[in-house]
Amino acid sequence: MTKLARIMVAPNGARRGKADHPALPVTIAETVRAAVSCYEAGAGAIHAHVRDAEGRHVLDAGLYRELIGELASAVPDMAVQITTEAVGRYSPADQRELVRDVMPAHVSVALREMLPDDGERVASRDFYHWAADAGMKVQHILYEAADLASLFSLIGEGVIPAGSLQVLFVLGRYTEGQQSEVADMDPFLAELGLRDGIEEVDWALCAFGRNETDCLVEAIRRGGKARIGFENNLLNRDGLVATDNAERVRELVAAIR
């Protein structure tokens, strides 16, 4: 599978736990069960985080390999994307090491975490070109339109390989009470229209709060893809807490039909 599915589920993320929702998966077994139910509901891909014995987000190659193996057995047609999310705990070198150890087919990397300053340019250039040569699909996580402009600039400078790109536009931040709006995607799409010399941009979107479904429906209508799930939002369109991740997927599938 060279591209990620139109609907990707992000069932846990790095920050929430059982105290936030009892159906949020934290173990590998729970994540696999969530993946199966979300695949049956209509998600063709999963954005996967792994947790340690205390439930904390970790960049652990062994746990990721275990999870990928279990998912391949339980839902072989579901694309699996791992994350290098730093959450203030991991360095760019830690993130690069994880990807080299796991060799995933798909990985998400936040541009501003991998390249926080010019001191990481050489190592990051080696990493991005190595990943491209290895056939990995790197999805660049972008938090504002300026990140997209920086991405295009880095491509022009040869730091990031030219060619087709996968990007994720994040509408909002991990802050208490965050509510994304459909209009929040407009600056990203305006910047996207300015691209020059980029063969293809395969873009997706995630959003926070009860407007998540509306934001994702509009993203799909405009030619993008959707990432949905408890990582960013626990609420259905009506403002009530969803039973589980699969319910969030079912609501989106019904809305885009």
- Give pLDDT tens digits for 203-238: 999 999 999 999 999 999 999 999 999 999 999 999
What was the pLDDT predicted at 3? 53
Average pLDDT in the 163-181 region? 84
What was the pLDDT predicted at 175? 63
| Angle of helix 245-256 versus helix 212-221 axis, rounded to 10 | 40
What was the pLDDT predicted at 172? 80
* pLDDT surpasses 90 at 176: no
CB neighbour class for 222 (10 Å; exposed up to 12, middle 13-18, buried from 19)? exposed
CA dist 165 → 44, 108, 201, 239 (Å): 19, 12, 5, 34
What was the pLDDT predicted at 197? 65
* pLDDT surpasses 50 at 190: yes
- Cα distance between the two ends of the chain: 24
- Give pLDDT tens digits for 1-56: 335 789 999 999 999 999 999 999 999 999 999 999 999 999 999 999 999 999 99
Please state, for a pLDDT cut of 90, what percent of the chain lies above it.
Answer: 89
Q: What share of the chain is helix, strand, coil (3-state, %, to 5)?
A: 40, 20, 40
- Give pLDDT tens digits for 62-108: 999 999 999 999 999 999 999 999 999 999 999 999 999 999 999 99
| Domains parsed from the chain with CATH numbers | 7-256 (3.20.20.70)
Alpha-helix runs per DSSP H in the chain: 28-41, 61-74, 92-102, 111-114, 121-133, 145-156, 186-192, 212-221, 245-256
Q: What is the pTM of this model?
A: 0.94
Give the model's confidence band at 118: pLDDT under 50 very low, under 70 low, under 90 confident, else very high: confident
What was the pLDDT predicted at 1? 32
